[in-house]
Amino acid sequence: MEKKIRKKKKAFVSADDCVACGCCLKVCPRNAIEIWHGIMARVDMERCIGCGKCAKECPASVIVIQEAEA
Amino acid sequence: MKKHWYDYLWILSLTYLVLGFFNILFAWLGLLCFFIPLIISVAKGTKGYCNRYCGRGQLFSLLGGNFGLSRKKDIPKWMKSKWFRYGFLIFFFIMFFQMLWNTWLVFSNVQDLKQVVTLLWTFKVPWHWAYHGTLLHPGVAQFAFGFYSVMLTSTILGFFTMVLFKPRSWCVYCPMGTMTQLICKAKQKGQAA
């Protein structure tokens, strides 16, 4: 039987709409988010576990949790 | 998560709002909330103030999150659009300069001191109990009344959007946040060029 591989979920930020407030990095349990040059949030895909805390916290709701392409 | 000293700056923000009810001259301290984010963004090219030190954001986070006063719904799309954010920044600037103009009129003895706090740029609320005279020019007090009006108005707006949407919805359209982000963008562009 073929084994189904589930892709890992990660946080994705809509860079253009991000206000760079930093609410997301405060709640990230893995310290996987940084505010890049005061412009937008950037997620370290290696560290992100796709828990969704940042997406829940984001006041602009510009973070989505999606399956990451391998 | 480990708490830092700056996670308690909401106490200062709350104290600031309370002090304005007792002596309006404390309103001058609010200038720190204007200058610190600007200095950080110009000098370091980051939004360090929003990200770490903003006591107002922490206060909304506490009231909306821990105290459960927020519906935690998504903010409407138009409120996070650049049109609205930049438009609100311009509007805020215009109202701020109007406040400075009124202060100037008192300083130049053209107008008398008005012991009122103007909420939402419209409603004039008598605030004479918080004024006990000043050794300096009445214009100093006029600026305090005007600046406290700005601070209280933005807190009220932030509180409403906190209740309706997510706790820190104010951060989406906060004029200081928008302005510092624009400074950071300009700085980044300058460095890349």
Q: Tell me if chain A has a CB within 8 Å of the CB of B163.
A: no
Q: Is residue A7 predicted with pLDDT exceeding 90?
A: no
Q: Which residues contact B29 (CB under 8 A, 6 or more apart)?
A: B16, B19
Task: Tell me, yes or no, whether A1 lies in a domain.
Answer: no
Task: Tell me, yes or no, whether A3 lies in a domain.
Answer: no
Q: Which of B48, B80, B168 sits opposite A23 (nearest CB)?
A: B168
Q: Which of B47, B72, B183 sits opposite A22 (nearest CB)?
A: B47
Per-residue model confidence (pLDDT) at position B112: 95
Q: Tell me if chain B has a CB within 8 Å of the CB of A37.
A: yes
Per-residue model confidence (pLDDT) at position B32: 96
Per-residue model confidence (pLDDT) at position A70: 60
Q: Tell me if chain A has a CB within 8 Å of the CB of B9.
A: no
Tens of pLDDT, residue by residue over B11-31, are 999 999 999 999 999 999 999
The series of mean pLDDT values per 10 residues for chain B, 193 residues long, is 91 97 96 96 96 96 95 96 97 96 96 94 93 89 97 97 97 97 94 80
Q: Please choose, from the candidates A35, A33, A37, the residue with its C-alpha nearest in 3D space to the C-alpha of residue A54.
A: A33
Per-residue model confidence (pLDDT) at position B171: 97
Tens of pLDDT, residue by residue over A39-56, are 999 999 999 999 999 999
> How does DSSP classify residue B66?
I
Per-residue model confidence (pLDDT) at position B43: 96
Q: Which whole number is the average pLDDT over A21-33?
A: 95
Domain count, chain A: 1
The distance of A50 to chain B (nearest Cα, Å) reads 18
Per-residue model confidence (pLDDT) at position B168: 97
Domain range for A33: 9-67
Per-residue model confidence (pLDDT) at position B8: 96
Residues of chain A in contact with residue B166, where contact means CB-CB under 8 angstroms, are 57-59, 61
Q: Is residue A69 predicted with pLDDT exceeding 80?
A: no
Q: How many CB pairs under 8 A join A and B?
A: 79
Q: Please choose, from the candidates A14, A19, A27, the residue with its C-alpha nearest in 3D space to the C-alpha of residue A62.
A: A14
Task: Tell me, yes or no, whether A47 lies in a domain.
Answer: yes
Q: Please choose, from the candidates B179, B168, B165, B129, the residue with its C-alpha nearest in 3D space to the C-alpha of residue B21.
A: B129
Domain range for B16: 5-192
Q: Which of residues 16-35 of A touch B (CB under 8 A)?
A: 17, 19-23, 25-27, 29, 35
Burial of B58 (0-12, 13-18, 19+ CB in 10 A): buried
Give the ipTM: 0.89
Per-residue model confidence (pLDDT) at position B40: 97
Quick one: closest CA in A to B80, which residue? A60
Domain count, chain B: 1
Q: Is residue A1 predicted with pLDDT exceeding 80?
A: no
Residues of chain B in contact with residue A39, where contact means CB-CB under 8 angstroms, are 181, 184-185, 188
Instruction: Give the number of other CB atoms < 10 A from CB of residue B59.
Output: 24
CATH number at residue A17: 3.30.70.20
Q: Which of B50, B167, B184 sits opposite A22 (nearest CB)?
A: B50
Per-residue model confidence (pLDDT) at position B172: 97
